[in-house]
Structure 1
Amino acid sequence: MSFKFENLIIWQKSMDLGEEMNLLAISFPKDEVYNLSSQLKRASDSIALNISEGSILQSNAEYRKFLGYSIRSLAEVVTCLHKVIRRKYLSKIDFEKHYKDCYNLMNMTIAYRNKIKK
């Protein structure tokens, strides 16, 4: 027994991304706890939350809207990652890995959203 969203690769990958971003955020300096750390955690968690929320008892149009919110949250995560590297809290190699993960997840989510009838 499972919820249908639990079988979605985009949900599974977004859950993984949220945990990775949480680990990254807790490594930031303490003065970022209410700023960049919090924003990165909330944005990355929002990706999976919107995928799951949109999948339950929603019309196709509503589901597509929630997937759009997930995509926007992904863009927010990418912007946070750019802030993180500018503030030198992350190596370029780690930035590129996280950036690639976000890019791939965005493309997968857009492709999935495009399959849902309007």
Structure 2
Amino acid sequence: MRDYKKLEVWKRAHLMTTFVYKDVVVQLPKDEMFALVSQMKRAAYSVPLNIVEGCGRTTEKDFARFLDHALGSAHEVEYCALLAFDLKFLDESVYTDLNKKVNEVKAMLIAFIKALRVS
């Protein structure tokens, strides 16, 4: 078992999630509260949650499977941000910052998954 708090990818995913909560969804219209806001929040916190759950697994294969789920959720956050930006709900600077954070987490997850599958 791993200590998720020591994993850099979890730290970055956690920062991405707090950014979504504090800086992104607050810009979205109130009438999106139960649609895009809810979906973006769930996708965002799913990334670090899947990393945490994977850390509790005993095999590398199981851990990699949960990292795959985290990667899928990161892609979902990325699309939610694009949709919100294209609908003019997000400022370009916030969209750019979130996209940077998401891409960083995705790259780290991909590298981690590859390393686990090689071992």
Q: TM-score, normalised by structure 2?
A: 0.91
Q: 1:59 matched to which residue of 2?
A: 59
CA contact (8 A) 1:22 1:40 kept: no
Question: Over residues 57-115 of structure 1, what are the superposed CA-to-partner deviations in whole Å (9 max), with x where a residue is unaligned?
Answer: 33111110000000000000000001110111112222112111111110111111111
Q: Give the number of the structure whose residues are more often helix, by fraction.
A: 2
Residue 84 (structure 2) aligns with: 84
Alignment correspondent of 2:34 = 34
- 1:12-23 alignment, distance < 5 Å: 12-23=11-22
Structure 2: gaps spanning 5 or more residues = none
Percentage identity across paired residues of the two chains: 26
State the number of aligned residues: 116
**Letter matched to residue 65 of structure 1:** R
Larger RCO of the pair (alpha carbons < 8 Å, separation 6+): 2
Question: What's the RMSD between the two structures over aligned residues?
Answer: 1.3
| Unaligned stretches of 5+ residues in structure 1 | none
Q: Give SS of 1:38's match.
A: helix
* SS of structure 1 residue aligned to 2:38: helix
Contact 2:27 2:90 in 1 (8 A): no
Runs of 4+ in 1 over 6 A off after TM superposition: none
Which string of whole-angstrom CA distances, capped at 9 and with x for unpartnered residues, describes residues 43-70 of structure 1?
0000000000011133111110000000
